[in-house]
Amino acid sequence: MLVHNADVAAIFDQIADLLEIRGDNPFRIRAYRNAARIVGEWGTSLQETVKNSGALPRIPGVGKDLDGKIREILETGHCALLDRLKSEFPPHLTDLLEIPGLGPKKVRTFYKNLGIHDVNGLYRALVDHRVAGLPGFGPHSEERLRQSVEARLGKVRRYKLVTAAEYARPILLALKKVTGVREAVIAGSFRRMRDTVGDLDVLVASDNPGPVLTRFVASEGVERVLAQGPTKSSIVLRSGLQVDLRVIPVVSLGAALVYFTGSKAHNIALRTLAQEKGLKINEYGVFRGDTPIAGTTEESVYQALGLSFIPPELREDRGEIQRAAQGPLPPLVRVEDLKGDLHSHTRRTDGKNSLREMAEAAQGKGFEYLAITDHSRRLTMVHGLAPEDLLDQANEIERIRRNVPGLCLLKGIEVDILEDGTLDLPDDALSGLDVVVGAIHSKFGLSRSDQTTRILRAMERPHFNIFAHPTGRLIGAREPYDIDLLRVLRKARERHVAFEVNAHPERLDINEVACKMAKDEGVLLAIDSDAHTTGEFDNLRFGVGQARRGWAEKKDVLNARSLEDVLSFLGKTPQRG
């Protein structure tokens, strides 16, 4: 049985949810939450590791009890603890957690006080105005929740990029081994690097579809086969993710990639342009009458339409076609352009690795620099740092810096922006740091005016370099807080503050629209991992995807610059190891 890391993480998240709904020990709940996050983003397959070596790797933050449960899940696909917990509650109670803004504590309140056990029941209670009388709820919060529930009832489930990538990998690897397969690619919104995907579109170039289709429907983890024809098939995985396969002739690979990558709006615009030129375009090629004139490569398709090549991330019909008609599009930033990371955590606060381990992992990635930015004291739950702790960590950075050649460790902090716009630490504590990352971790529900004012005031502080996860969203869990983004961007430009593109798959904040706004306003982007483990540096690829969707070039990204240029932006002088 194939068990992905994401499957283990999902089970641990469900256990944590049910424990919290039950009112269990918060430390036990946090242990499962942390384990879910770490396992879900572990860089290699745990099942493959156990199969090859007979042992699990050492996973920071995962003790003997959780280690045993990981093994149980890898061997059986199930966890006895989760089965017991599920038996204590109605089967659809946890569906409520898919509604943005609802956590286990609120679900517990609905369940205990109103007997609500599914999304439809919650909607009826909201329509009847029975929620407003509960602790922590009023008429306004009830109305916002009603709108969220209505949106959820009409929404198809979507999957985070990192989850979709894990499920896609073994399918692609298996299909590429089939004799006669020239290429196998995930197309659709996944290839365009949208922050979430509804399903996966697999495109295989082969002139012999039969063996490809046979291998596809036999993929491990298939729950059911929805359809199977001579050149296409659809399956549903145990996770609920639908995967659609299309096998196309090798000669049509480029045209099929354009067609099945989309977006729908981009494809419609291409068809309109083709018609204006007396041409026809479809998944098999570009035709003049019945004569094919392009289609083997994507470049040939765009060239036949009088366009330069358009990268997949830009194919949203947001001006990319008009720009491509004028000449080559600007070269978008790439993962290999990044020279360092300006937002990372260690186990001094809520990270899972030591400072040395983070530094050595960054060195292994070929980074030129890494900023250590643990949380400030406001976040007591993660043992945030006070001024005296900062001094102690600075001394540790100095010691380690000398022993990690080629990497410059930067002293930093992720400092909380308080409700009134002040920072969680005084200016004299921040002045000795190389980089100050400011972030909001509370009071997400302030009005647009108050939230905007809060951020503008924070940016006035003399030591404020990067605005982290600027809209506060958690994909599928928390909507962005309401701010006047244009005003904030213009203040950032005035105050020489970079805007973060947080690459963590739960955030991907800011999104592509805000990235494009930042670029247009002349505000530098910082594509940061927000890594809490050594493996999370790999998430930078997702942040780069968001930045590319926002038309960002290498010159628009702070950490695509050399150490000297970054320190110049920060107003500091180089200190190499």
DSSP per residue, 293-315 = EE-SSHHHHHHHTT-----GGG-
CATH number of the domain residue 195 falls in: 3.30.460.10
Is the pLDDT confidence value at 206 over 50? yes
H or E stretch including 343? Answer: none
| CATH (domain of 13) | 1.10.150.110
Residue with tokens 């990319």: 320
Mean pLDDT for 389-411 is 93
Residue 331 lies in a domain: no
Task: Report the alpha-carbon distance of residue 72 to residue 94 in Å, rounded.
Answer: 23
Q: How far apart are CA 221 and CA 129, in angstroms?
A: 43
Distance separating alpha carbons of residues 532 and 352, to the nearest angstrom = 6
Mean pLDDT value of segment 259-263: 95
C-alpha dihedral sign at 455, 457, 460, 463: negative
For residues 412 and 403, the answer to whether their CB atoms sit within 8 Å is no
* pLDDT (average), residues 372-390: 89
| Two tokens, residue 231 | 């050149």
Same domain for 277 and 237?
A: yes
Q: Give the pLDDT band (50/70/90) at residue 577.
A: very low
What confidence tens digit (pLDDT) does each residue in 177-193 have? 999 999 999 999 999 99
**Could you tell me where the beta strands, DSSP code E, fall in 213-332?**
222-228, 232-237, 242-248, 280-282, 285-288, 291-294
Query: Do 430 and 539 lie in a common domain?
Result: yes
Domain boundary among 124, 153, 182: 153
How far apart are alpha carbons 285 and 291 in whole angstroms? 10
Angstrom distance (rounded) from CA 498 to CA 435: 11
**What are the beta bridge partners of residue 407?**
none
The residue ranking higher by pLDDT, 250 or 156, is 250
Helix then strand then coil, in percent of the chain rounded to 5, is: 45, 15, 35
Residue type, 453: T
Provide the domain limits for residue 40: 5-153
pLDDT at 574: 53
Look at residue 133 in the predicted model and tell me its pLDDT.
84
Mean pLDDT computed over every residue of the chain:
92
List, in sequence order, every residue forming a beta bridge with 376; answer none if it has no partner: 385
Please tell me the distance from the alpha carbon of residue 188 to that of residue 260, in angstroms, as a whole number. 6
Phi, psi dihedrals of residue 337, rounded to the nearest 5° = -80, -20
Count other Cβ atoms within 10 Å, centred on residue 436.
Answer: 27
Return left, alpha or beta for 576; rule: phi > 0 is left, psi -120 to 50 is alpha, else beta.
beta
* Cα-to-chain-centroid distance, residue 108: 28
* Range with top average pLDDT, 16-30, 130-144, 265-279: 265-279
Assess contact for 558 and 342: CB atoms under 8 A: yes
Residue with tokens 């352009």: 337
Q: Is the pLDDT of residue 561 over 70?
A: yes
Is 330 inside any structural domain?
A: no
Q: What average pLDDT does range 397-425 have in this prediction?
A: 94
Provide the pLDDT for residue 146: 86
352 assigned to some structural domain: yes
State residue 430's pLDDT score: 96
Domains identified in the chain, total number: 3
Token duo for residue 160: 């985070």
Q: How far are the Cα atoms of 183, 238, 441 from residue 228, in angstroms, in the given order? A: 20, 18, 48
For 512, the enclosing helix (H) or strand (E) is helix 512-521
Q: Which of 98-112, 193-207, 326-340 has the lowest mean pLDDT?
A: 98-112
Q: Are residues 228 and 307 in the same domain?
A: yes
Q: For residue 484, what is the DSSP state?
A: -
> Does one domain contain both 438 and 292?
no
Q: How many residues appear in the chain? A: 577
Same-domain check for residues 121 and 170: no
Average pLDDT over residues 318-339: 96
Shared domain check, 518 and 381: yes
483 lies in a domain? yes
Question: CA of 181: how far to CAs of 128, 174, 259, 283, 372, in Å?
Answer: 58, 11, 19, 18, 45
- 166 and 278 housed in the same domain: yes
The percentage of the chain sitting over the pLDDT mark of 70, rounded to a whole number, equals 98
Q: What is the pLDDT of residue 51?
A: 86
Terminal CA-CA length for the chain: 47
101 and 208 part of one domain: no
**Quick check: 136 pLDDT over 90?**
no
Domain end, chosen from 153, 174, 196, is at: 153
Domain membership of residue 527 (yes or no) is yes
CA atoms within 13 A on the CB side of 271: 10
Half-sphere exposure of 386 (CA within 13 A, CB side): 2
Lowest mean per-residue pLDDT among 131-140, 179-188, 354-363:
131-140
CATH code: domain of residue 386? 3.20.20.140
Q: How far is CA 329 from the centre of its chain?
A: 26
| pLDDT, mean of residues 284-290 | 95
Q: Report whether pLDDT(437) > 50.
A: yes
Would you say residue 137 has pLDDT above 90?
Answer: no
Residue 575 resides in a domain: no
Q: Which of 153, 170, 201 is the C-terminal boundary of a domain?
A: 153
- Both 131 and 191 in one domain: the answer is no
- Do 168 and 116 have their domain in common? no
Indicate if the pLDDT at residue 128 is higher than 90.
no
Q: Are residues 382 and 522 in the same domain?
A: yes
What pLDDT, on the 0 to 100 scale, is given for residue 155? 64
Least confident of 41-45, 126-130, 332-336, 564-568: 41-45
Please report where in the chains the tokens 């609905």 appear, as a residue. 110
Res 102: pLDDT: 85
Task: Tell me, yes or no, whether 109 and 215 share the same domain.
Answer: no
Tokens read off for 331: 């070269």
pTM over 0.85: no
Do residues 149 and 123 touch, judged by C-beta distance below 8 A? Answer: yes
Assigned domain for 332 exists: no
Mean pLDDT over 241-264 rounds to: 96
Whether residue 464 is predicted with pLDDT greater than 60 in this model: the reply is: yes
Band of pLDDT at residue 576, cut at 50, 70 and 90: very low
The answer to whether 321 touches 268, Cβ cutoff 8 Å, is no
Q: Where are the alpha helices (DSSP H) in 24-98?
A: 26-40, 46-53, 64-76, 80-87
Find all residues with CB under 8 Å of 476, minimum gap 6, and list them.
98, 100, 158, 160, 196
Q: Taking residues 101-121, what's their average pLDDT? A: 89
Whether 335 is in a domain gets the answer no
Q: How far apart are CA 335 and CA 569, in angstroms?
A: 21
In what helix (H) or strand (E) does residue 507 lie, and over which residues does it extend?
Answer: none
pLDDT tens-digit profile of 485-526?
999 999 999 999 999 999 999 999 999 999 999 999 999 999
